[in-house]
Amino acid sequence: MKITILDDYHDTLRTLACFDKLAGHEVEIWTDHVQETEQLAARLKDTEALVLIRERTRIGADLIARLDKLRLISQRSVYPHIDVDACTRQGVIIASNMQAGAPSYATAELTWGLILAAMRQIPQQMASLRAGQWQSGVGSGLRGKTLGVFGYGRIGGVVAGYGKAFGMTVLVWGREASLARARADGHAVASDKAAFFAESDVVSLHMRLLDATRGIVTAGDLALMQPTALIVNTSRAPLIAPGALVAALRAGRPGMAAVDVFEAEPVRDTGNPLLTMANVVATPHIGYVTREDYEIQFADIFDQIIAYGAGKPINVVNPDALGIRRS
């Protein structure tokens, strides 16, 4: 089978133990990122199975229509970047393990790293030292402060545990099911959304991006945060209303942000406000990017290809595509 892998920026996948699962197949790996339909169509013209790394490349109807040999898209997690209806019409199977029961410890660990980096001003202190200066300011500790976890799911629950280990009070907000889990784990639940933002010294967002959660954090919510507070987003940028975060940081409420996600990725514009503001710590969507997490993710992704090749597709998102033969 001809398998193509897109957006493997550092040519990492072939170095993983799970890559051996693809032995005997013809595998082509692209390490750069392109989004233009013409370029993608040329690269994928002979591809039968396409491997996507999360949401790095959008797969639209115009592209799908031009890929006559494509039979399978294999990936992991959510798929807002794929035109599912177009794939179904064309008989292209989408296989994606939603890993509903497994926490992403890699993302939780990065979240905590960003919290520590922002509160203790680690990037600023490093820049000062490299510039031949000594201490550049005074950071803030975490013990005794309130960690607000917005969305108490498989990642939010792990982050809450880290907060407790650091001596923080954990305050949770989200859907009723999230609140029930938080109560069962012994955490406090905010009286309402406004109280959650007003009372949290650190707010960390841990929700899937759905129609119901898009823009769920509003400018008004951010304005309730304290000038000393920090908001952290390692989930998805559009959870915050467009433009609201930059405006809030400029207004001083909250006083800091730490982000791993952006509205348009990859970010190439060095003038992006989130990259130039002194009160922001930013990383390039690396929450899930560890060798250990890659082994778990791509073992699933490659197993989906093997199952398809054996005539028994698994984790099929669009089962209606199974009965459609591509000409």
* Residue-wise DSSP of 206-226: -----TTTTT-B-HHHHHTS-
Which listed residue (206, 265, 292, 325) is catalytic?
265
pLDDT for 325 beyond 80? no
Query: What pLDDT, on the 0 to 100 scale, is given for residue 135?
Result: 95
| pLDDT tens per residue, range 298-322 | 999 999 999 999 999 999 999 999 9
Quick check: is 26 catalytic? no
The separation between CA 127 and the C-alpha centre of its own chain, rounded to angstroms, equals 27
Query: What pLDDT, on the 0 to 100 scale, is given for residue 129?
Result: 97
Q: What is the mean pLDDT of residues 59-70?
A: 97
Tokens representing residue 24 in the block = 């005997």
**Cα separations in angstroms, 311 against 72, 76, 306, 308:** 12, 20, 9, 5
Quick check: is 176 catalytic? no
Which listed residue (38, 236, 291, 326) is catalytic?
236
Name the H helices within the chain: 37-43, 61-64, 84-89, 105-119, 122-130, 156-165, 176-184, 193-199, 219-223, 244-251, 273-276, 291-309
pLDDT for 233 beyond 80? yes
Spatial separation of the C-alpha atoms in residues 250 and 117, rounded to whole Å: 20
Q: What is the mean pLDDT of residues 269-296?
A: 96
* Residue-wise DSSP of 94-144: EEEE--TTS--HHHHHHHHHHHHHHHTTHHHHHHHHHTT----------TT
In the block, residue with structure tokens 């803030």: 140
CATH architecture type of domain 2-100+291-321: 3-Layer(aba) Sandwich (3.40)
pLDDT for 324 beyond 90? no
Query: What pLDDT, on the 0 to 100 scale, is given for residue 101?
Result: 64
Query: What pLDDT, on the 0 to 100 scale, is given for residue 294?
Result: 95
The separation between CA 43 and the C-alpha centre of its own chain, rounded to angstroms, equals 26
Query: What pLDDT, on the 0 to 100 scale, is given for residue 103?
Result: 73
CATH architecture type of domain 105-282: 3-Layer(aba) Sandwich (3.40)
Extents of the domains making up the chain = 2-100+291-321, 105-282
Q: Could you check whether 2-100+291-321 and 105-282 share the same CATH topology?
A: yes
Quick check: is 71 catalytic? no
Average pLDDT over the chain, rounded to an integer: 96
Which listed residue (143, 285, 291, 325) is catalytic?
285
| pLDDT tens per residue, range 123-135 | 999 999 999 999 9
Torsion of Cα atoms, 304 then 307 then 309 then 312, to 10°: -130
- DSSP code of residue 241: P
